[in-house]
Structure 1
Amino acid sequence: MTDLAIRRAQLEDRLAFLDARLHEIDAELDSHQSKDWEELATEREGDEVLERLGQSGQSEIAQIRAALARMDAGEYGVCVTCGADISEERLDLLPYTPFCRSCAR
């Protein structure tokens, strides 16, 4: 398996995980049945945390899909800002990054 195929598999696995996690978050947000005001307040605080996690997950999903599109276009691993190659070390840490280290600053 080539490095690109390995990275694609990693991104697709992460995408599947995030998609499942977002479905779990949606189910949790829809599951409150409590009538007690104190419990509702506690649940609402938890909902805010879940909503932030969901937003973060959606952002990561968008970045992963963009990286997969760059792979399909033959542009993966090339900085979208300056056109330099993105280092393997950086791609190991952030496989969906569109920026080289210099442009990410």
Structure 2
Amino acid sequence: MSPDLATIRARLSDRRAQLLAHVASLEADLGQPMEADFAEQAVEREDDEALDRLSRVELAEIGQIDRAIERIDQGAYGVCIECGEPIAPARLAALPEAAMCMECATGR
């Protein structure tokens, strides 16, 4: 594995660990008992819905990171999974877990 790929893999792994820790924190918050006051319960339910949505978004990002790490390990990182062309370095710098080139990602 080239030094650049090793660095990218390490950054992805670090981001994955951060997301997992945050998801665990969100799940702990969601597991807290409700207040006795009905008005407070309504606010807590809204908060719980927002936390649940955030958790789902972060879990999806973890999945994208896992697939990017697999592509690195398989030697396929930086190659579009749709067309097989290289993904622009600027795109990978901005979104290291990108699996598609801009053309395929935008459907052009």
- Per the TM superposition, whether the score is higher than 0.5 is yes
Deviation (angstroms), 1:32: 2.9
What residue number does 2:55 align with? Answer: 54
Q: Distance in 1 between matches of 2:70 and 2:10?
A: 14
Name the amino acid aligned to 2:37: D
Q: Distance in 1 between matches of 2:78 and 2:69?
A: 11
**Is residue 79–residue 99 contact of structure 2 (8 Å, CA) maintained in 1?**
yes
Deviation (angstroms), 1:101: 1.0
Name the amino acid aligned to 1:21: H
> Unaligned regions of 5+ residues in structure 2, if any?
none
Give SS of 1:34's match.
Answer: coil
Deviation (angstroms), 1:69: 0.6
Q: Distance in 1 between matches of 2:33 and 2:93?
A: 40
Name the amino acid aligned to 2:29: E
TM-score of the superposed pair, with normalisation by structure 1: 0.96
Deviation (angstroms), 1:3: 1.1
What residue number does 1:73 align with? Answer: 74
> Unaligned regions of 5+ residues in structure 1, if any?
none
CA RMSD of aligned residues (A): 1.0
Identity of aligned residues (%): 44
TM-score of the superposed pair, with normalisation by structure 2: 0.94
**Is residue 30–residue 48 contact of structure 2 (8 Å, CA) maintained in 1?**
yes
Give SS of 2:87's match.
Answer: coil
Q: Distance in 2 between matches of 1:74 and 1:28?
A: 39
